[in-house]
Chains A and B, each alone.
Chain A
Amino acid sequence: MAKHSISKIIGQRILGAIPSVIGVVIVTFLLTRALPGDPAAFFAGPAATAEAIDEVRRNLGLDKTLLEQFFLYIGDLFRGDLGVSLTTGQTVGYDLLTRLPASLELTLAGLVFAIALALPLGILAATRPNSWIDHGVRLLATAGVSLPTFFTGLFLIYVLYYQLGIAPAPLGRLDILFSPPTHITGFYLIDSLLTGDLELFWVAASQLVLPAITLGLFALAPLARVTRASMLGMLSSDFIRTARASGLPPRQVLFGYAFRNAMLPVITTLGVVFSFLLGANILVEKVFAWPGIGSYAVEALVASDYAPIQGFILTMALLYVVLNLLIDLLYVVIDPRAGVDA
């Protein structure tokens, strides 16, 4: 397949994500306007006077028609203006940007943990169907989706921090004795390595382990299940039989042929897994006092501070659209056939 057509397919996929973005913006806008009672009163805060509320109403353009308001909202979005948080006193855009790396670092660490465990387990189960490993993986997968993330997190904290004292206190990204590394990417693990501070790297990593495991356990189940199912399907297919009959070493058959093809459904499942992860992220951040955008939204929720919540939902949704797009693109790059009938 020519390079030209692949870039064309990639372009098509990017264009295909635009309706999702428009849908997300419309829904978020409607959620803004669906606030109970008077949105102006909410944005003005509980202590506001009637004049202050009127001024907020004019500032927010709430005295205009819904369509006009929608275009004003779009205009604000293009200028990156998501409103001001009443609890922190900063603009929501600034708050979200400074907190996003913490959430991303946690989500990615959780994903890496889940993949690192799910793929070997799925393959083991598929190569030994109906053995105890297979049943064990099945049980683990069912248990994994049944675990409330917030509960797993608390359980791990109790056993590993309170009882055994192995894990550090669940109080955010760094022990209070340390100050964060110089801001380069915002990912503490990467920044501390870039500045060559190994001690800080270990401290940041040890804080990250428990929340990442909590998050990963939840994402483990769908990945392990799909890996097992698609490996089973591949291993019983004709081309594997041919490869085996031709005398190729089992390792090459398993990883070179079966695994590569079995990866495609797994990559598709990543979309669902990210939906899980981004949602569970909120709960895990609350449990571990992780200073990401999830705990930011929860704090705002408790204080009835609506601008941050809307900014958060929009950010999460756009992030999810981008992730799905990346998964799509990865699929096209890995499987040249994906472009043919698309």
Chain B
Amino acid sequence: MTTTTFQHTRYVISENWITFGAFALFLVFVLFAIFGEAVAPYDPLASNSAIALQPPSLYHWFGTDQLGRDVLSRVMVATRLDLGIAVMAVALSFLVGSLLGTCAGYFGGWADRIISRCIDTLMAFPLFVLAMGLVAALGNTVENIILATAVINLPLYTRVVRSEVLVRRDAGFVEAARLTGNGDWRIMAKHLFPNVLPVMMVHVSLNMGWAILNAAGLSFIGLGVQPPTPEWGIMVAEGATYIVSGEWWMALFPGAVLMLAVFCFNLLGDGLRDLIDPRMRT
């Protein structure tokens, strides 16, 4: 690394320390997602009724649940599943949405009309309700949670890509590419889409947080992930019954970690937006 790159990096970090902090937090979450099972102090599924419902202590930092399972270990292990669902869902809707949006924006006409009409129909539903209906209809599995979360995020990606492609469709560089003999699909993939990517990254980051919330919300009402699998939404749901009798740790810790994860992605998205396009800042 040369001195100038180093200075530049230091400058960017010092100007955006919140974003940097969020990025560090993001790395921590990624580490837990990968190594969570290895570093968890206890087996997340091992129950022991002798130590049920213990408040946080030196041995069990986050306390134990109604079956005597260690809450800290369960929260750690759950990271992979929660982030995994969100990553898969966002990736899926990113891919499909980009394809649909690029086609709609580039070809216009009937393709645009059909795609936009379908997207409008999805938008006519309150999104969480649609996700709930999809999972209820397709079956109560993790795959369907991913699918439902992807479907409700689809309108966002399709619309953003469509409008970004639309304004560039007749730009000089696209005309030039066409005149030098590039086909439609090549122009879309190699010339238009790369220009849309920076804006999309901001949306991906903001959307990740939302996808995590959504998946956790679905499992909170009993859809998708089933107990005893550790998952933040289920853990909050299980802890909810105990909160009125004062056992706060069972719901608080998974809920707080869930909140932190979403907060982290939202801050990261805000930071990226400031870096990529300061005018979008609100």
Docked CA distance A117–B11 (Å): 37
- The residue that A151 contacts in the complex, of B128, B245, B258, B267, with Cβ under 8 A, is B258
* Contact yes or no, A36 B244, CB < 8 A: no
Interface segment, one of B31-39, B44-52, B85-93, B247-255? B247-255
Docked CA distance A34–B135 (Å): 10
Smallest Cβ distance from A278 to chain B, in angstroms? 4
Scan residues 282-305 of chain A and give those whose CB is less than 8 A from a CB of chain B. 282-283, 286-287, 297-298, 301-302
Instruction: Determine whether A211 belongs to the interface, using a CB cutoff of 8 Å to chain B.
Output: no
Docked CA distance A304–B243 (Å): 27
* Contact yes or no, B243 A282, CB < 8 A: no
Smallest Cβ distance from B144 to chain A, in angstroms? 9
* Contact yes or no, A306 B136, CB < 8 A: yes
Docked CA distance A229–B262 (Å): 23
Scan residues 182-216 of chain B and give those whose CB is less than 8 A from a CB of chain A. 209-210, 213, 216
Instruction: Determine whether A313 belongs to the interface, using a CB cutoff of 8 Å to chain B.
Output: yes
Docked CA distance A24–B134 (Å): 13
Instruction: Determine whether B106 belongs to the interface, using a CB cutoff of 8 Å to chain A.
Output: no
Chain A residues positioned under 8 Å from B128 (CB to CB): 275, 278-280, 282
* Contact yes or no, B126 A274, CB < 8 A: yes
Instruction: Determine whether B270 belongs to the interface, using a CB cutoff of 8 Å to chain A.
Output: yes
Instruction: Determine whether B222 belongs to the interface, using a CB cutoff of 8 Å to chain A.
Output: yes
Tell me whether A282 and B259 are in contact in the complex, defined as CB-CB below 8 angstroms, given that A154-B236, A321-B124 are known contacts. no
Chain A residues positioned under 8 Å from B239 (CB to CB): 154
* Contact yes or no, A297 B132, CB < 8 A: yes
Chain A residues positioned under 8 Å from B213 (CB to CB): 146, 148
* Contact yes or no, A313 B243, CB < 8 A: no
Most A-side CB within 10 Å, residue of B209, B213, B259: B213
Tell me whether A142 and B133 are in contact in the complex, defined as CB-CB below 8 angstroms, given that A150-B220, A162-B243, A279-B128 are known contacts. no
Chain A residues positioned under 8 Å from B127 (CB to CB): 275, 279
- The residue that B221 contacts in the complex, of A278, A286, A313, with Cβ under 8 A, is A286
Tell me whether A151 and B129 are in contact in the complex, defined as CB-CB below 8 angstroms, given that A169-B244, A302-B222, A321-B124 are known contacts. no
Instruction: Determine whether B167 belongs to the interface, using a CB cutoff of 8 Å to chain A.
Output: no
Instruction: Determine whether B56 belongs to the interface, using a CB cutoff of 8 Å to chain A.
Output: no
Chain A residues positioned under 8 Å from B98 (CB to CB): none
Size class of the contact patch on chain B: 35 or more
Scan residues 2-26 of chain A and give those whose CB is less than 8 A from a CB of chain B. 19-21, 23-24, 26
Chain B residues positioned under 8 Å from A226 (CB to CB): 282
* Contact yes or no, A320 B133, CB < 8 A: no
* Contact yes or no, A151 B133, CB < 8 A: no
Instruction: Determine whether A190 belongs to the interface, using a CB cutoff of 8 Å to chain B.
Output: no
Chain A interfacial residues counted at CB < 8 A: 57
Instruction: Determine whether B117 belongs to the interface, using a CB cutoff of 8 Å to chain A.
Output: yes
Docked CA distance A168–B251 (Å): 20
Chain A residues positioned under 8 Å from B210 (CB to CB): 145
Most A-side CB within 10 Å, residue of B122, B244, B252, B258: B244
Scan residues 65-92 of chain A and give those whose CB is less than 8 A from a CB of chain B. none
Nearest CB to that of B133 among chain A residues?
A313
Tell me whether A36 and B138 are in contact in the complex, defined as CB-CB below 8 angstroms, given that A31-B133, A228-B282 are known contacts. yes
* Contact yes or no, A282 B137, CB < 8 A: no
Docked CA distance A279–B239 (Å): 22
Instruction: Determine whether B130 belongs to the interface, using a CB cutoff of 8 Å to chain A.
Output: yes
Instruction: Determine whether B5 belongs to the interface, using a CB cutoff of 8 Å to chain A.
Output: no
Smallest Cβ distance from B159 to chain A, in angstroms? 12
Docked CA distance A302–B219 (Å): 12
B contact set with A: CB distance below 8 Å: 117, 120-122, 124-130, 132-134, 136-139, 209-210, 213, 216-217, 220-223, 233, 236-237, 239-240, 243-246, 248, 251-252, 255-256, 258-259, 262-263, 266-267, 270, 282
The 9 closest A-B pairs by CB, nearest first: A279-B128, A23-B121, A151-B255, A229-B282, A278-B126, A146-B263, A146-B262, A36-B139, A20-B124
In the complex, given contacts A279-B127, A279-B129, what are 4 additional A-B residue pairs having Cβ atoms less than 8 angstroms apart? Answer: A158-B252, A225-B282, A282-B221, A283-B221
